[in-house]
Amino acid sequence: MLRYKWLSTAVLLVSSVSMFGQDANDPVEDILGALPKVEGWQQGETRSYGDARLGMSVGFNSEKGGTFTVFVYDKGITNIQDGPDSDLAKEEVSAAKAEIQMAIELGYYEKVEFHDEEIVALSENVKSRRLRMTLFANGRKLTSEIYVYGHLGYFIKFRATRAYEDKASANKDFNEFVKKVADSLHKYKADTEKLPADVGN
């Protein structure tokens, strides 16, 4: 199975911030614990980045090829609004584009073609900003997307990479997987005592 190399926000930020231990009762781990088990997708271990502000991530590998990673983090920001409409969510997409450009400079990809950035419905209950792009790596043409939205005072970011497709809507299996992931996170109800006091303000 192919594994595509890429850089995440968390990895790039590790070198530029001071390090803190991850809280043993961090709600980020609880949120990721709500991720579903989906047939055809192998779920990896939860990954921590050594700083509570950088959160955690969980990766999935598809039996049909391709990867999907879920990130939950807050960068130390205490006023992240739910949904995809905030300026903070827009800034996260811009930061992700900059990371892709850096990945090209570091040799992870040969080039990238950025396409539409828009707000899309992942399910009946969840909307997200989505940036679509075409990546070229090791002579292969790949479809990749970044999704960002706010939830429970955190950024939720998905990164998906798979064989090239003309349109995102063409892959029904992938879209159904994204729907299940988004709905599982949406249904999660965190212990309010674990969340920052000003979540949603």
Residues 177, 108: contact at Cβ < 8 Å?
A: no
Superfamily of domain 9-194: Mog1/PsbP, alpha/beta/alpha sandwich (3.40.1000.10)
pLDDT at position 3: 41
71-129 pLDDT, tens per residue?
999 999 999 999 999 999 999 999 999 999 999 999 999 999 999 999 999 999 999 99
Residues 48, 21: contact at Cβ < 8 Å?
A: no
pLDDT at position 171: 84
Q: Would residue 44 be called left, alpha or beta, if left means φ above 0 and alpha means ψ between -120 and 50 degrees?
A: beta
pLDDT at position 168: 57
**pTM for the model:** 0.81
Distance, C-alpha 198 to centroid of its chain? 23
C-alpha span between 41 and 164 (Å, rounded): 19
At 73, list the tokens: 């983090």
Q: Would residue 110 be called left, alpha or beta, if left means φ above 0 and alpha means ψ between -120 and 50 degrees?
A: alpha
List helix spans (H) across the chain.
9-14, 27-32, 87-105, 172-187
- Report CA torsion sign: 186, 149, 55, 114: positive
At 29, list the tokens: 């781990």
Residues 149, 128: contact at Cβ < 8 Å?
A: yes
C-alpha span between 50 and 152 (Å, rounded): 21
Which residues, given as ranges, of the chain have pLDDT below 50?
Answer: 1-24, 190-201
pLDDT at position 78: 93
pLDDT at position 170: 66
